[in-house]
Amino acid sequence: MTRKVLVLGETRDGSLRNVSFEAVAAAKTVAEGGEVVGVLLGKNVSALGAELIQYGADRVVVVEDEKLDQYTSDGFAQALLAVLEKESPEGLVLGHTSQGKDLSPRIAAKLSSGLISDATAVEVAGGNVVFTRPIYSGKAFEKKIVTAGLVFATVRPNNITPLPKDESRTGEVASLSVEIKDLRAIIKEVVRKASEGVDLSEAKVVISGGRGVKSAEGFEPLKELANVLGGAVGASRGACDADYCDYSLQIGQTGKVVTPDLYIACGISGAIQHLAGMSNSKVIVAINKDPEANIFKVADYGIVGDLFEVVPLLTEEFKKLKVHS
C-alpha cells in the first residue's frame, strides 16, 4: 500500500540536521512508493527545501513566520497541524530530538493517533510498517506497529542510514501561509552550553570519561582526542556527580543515549546504568586501569592501562593515520 508521508525537517543554526535526512529515508520506507513531502517551519527556511529534496523528499511545504523563528510547542504545533490538514497524509516522521520529543506526542494526541517514539529501524513486513525501538534503555528491543491514526514515528539520530545525496533531484518548494496565534509559552533566553563542537547525540565518535578522569582538567586529553577524530566528549554519571563536567555530557540511563560508530570509554568502570546509554554503539573501546572493570565485558577492544598515558598516545597515532590517509 502506498502512503503519502510527511517529514518534518529540523534546522539548527540555519542548516538542516542530519537526523532530518535519516527521517526522510525512514519516510521513504513508510511510503512504500508513495509521495514523501518535506515540511520546514521557521522564519527563513525555504532555501533549505532543495537539500531535503536532494536527500529523497519529492516536494517540500514551507511555513514561514516570525513566530516560528525559535521552536515553541504552540507555534510549531499550529503550523504542522495546518500542513497536516492541507496534505492529509497517511504517515508522519520526525527526528527523536529535543524538538521531536516535545512536539510529536502533542500532534498524536490532537489527531488521536498512535505514535512510535525513538525508532532505530523501520521495515515493511507482513503488510505492516514495523518499527524497532529500544526499551529498558536498550537492555531489550521491541517491534511495534501503529494500529490507529497515522503511521507516525520519531527516529533516533544516527541509526537509519540516509539516502545518498542526489544533487540532480529537484522538486517543488511551496509555501503555505498559516496564522500563528498566541503562544502560551515564550522563550526569553537561550543559554548555550553544549553546542560548541559536535552534537553528542549525532556524533559519529564519542570519547567519554568517568571517575578515572579525576578532575575537570583531566578531560583535556579526551577533548584533544575528540578534536582529532571530529567527535564529541561525553561522561559517566560518576564524572558529572564529581563535578568534573556538566550534566549535559552525561551518558546513561538517566542522561543521553548515544549510538556512535565508535565509543571510547576512558576511566569508566561500566555500571549497568552507564551501559544502558552506550551499549548499542557500533564499536566500543575501553581504556581502564582495572582489568576486572565491567566495561571490558561490552568492549570490542580493550587496553588495560592509565588513560593519561594511553589517550595522548592514541591522539598522536590517529594524527599519523590522518596524515597518511
176 φ, ψ (degrees, to nearest 5): -120, 130
CA–CA–CA angle 316, 322, 324 (5° rounding):
105
Task: Indicate whether 98 belongs to the interface with another protein (CB under 8 A).
Answer: yes
Three cell numbers written together for 319: 594524527
Give yes or no for residue 238 binding another protein (CB under 8 A): no
Q: Which three cell numbers stand for residue 177?
A: 501561509
Beta pairing, strands 59-64 & 128-135: unpaired
Candidate list 50, 176, 199, 308; residue touching another protein; CB under 8 A: 199
Please tell me whether residue 299 binds another protein under the rule CB under 8 A.
yes
245 binds another protein (CB under 8 A): no
Specify the stretch interacting with another protein by CB under 8 A; choose among 44-52, 58-66, 84-92, 313-321. 313-321
35 forms part of the interface with another protein (CB under 8 A): no
| 127 forms part of the interface with another protein (CB under 8 A) | no
Q: Does the protein bind another protein through residue 101 (CB under 8 A)?
A: yes
Integer angstrom CA distances of residue 63 from 71, 75, 77, 180: 13, 11, 12, 10
Residue 242 CB, nearest distance to another protein (Å)? 15
Under rule CB under 8 A, residue 47 binds another protein: no
**d(C-alpha 234, C-alpha 84), whole Å:** 38
148 belongs to the binding site for another protein (CB under 8 A):
yes
206 lines the binding site for another protein (CB under 8 A): no
The residue (of 45 and 293) whose beta carbon lies closer to another protein is: 293
Q: Taking CB under 8 A as the rule, does residue 109 contact another protein?
A: yes
Angle 123-124-128 from CA coordinates, rounded to 5°: 125
Minimum Å gap between C-beta 108 and another protein is 7
Cα–Cα distance measured from residue 146 to residue 235, given in angstroms and rounded to the nearest whole number: 36
Q: Which residues pair with 234 in a beta bridge?
A: 208
- Contacting another protein (CB under 8 A), which of 78, 97, 208, 236? 97
- What one-character-per-residue DSSP string does 272-294 give? HHHHHHHTTSSEEEEEES-TT-T
| The one among 13, 185, 217, 292 contacting another protein by CB under 8 A | 185
Is residue 314 near another protein by the rule CB under 8 A? yes
| Rounded least distance, CB 173 to another protein, Å | 27
Q: How many CB atoms lie within 10 A of CB 225?
A: 23
Kindly state the cell numbers that stand for 110.
490532537
Helix (H) or strand (E) holding 37: strand 36-42
Note whether 181 binds another protein by CB under 8 A: no
Q: Cα(206)–Cα(255) distance, rounded to whole angstroms?
A: 15
Stretch that binds another protein, among 30-38, 40-48, 166-174, 279-287 (CB under 8 A): 279-287
Establish if 158 lies at the interface with another protein (CB under 8 A): no
Using left for φ > 0, alpha for ψ between -120 and 50, and beta otherwise, residue 155 falls in beta
Q: With contacts defined by CB under 8 A, how many residues of the chain interact with another protein?
A: 94
Q: Contact letters (x/-) for another protein, 51-90, by CB under 8 A? A: ----------------------xx----------------
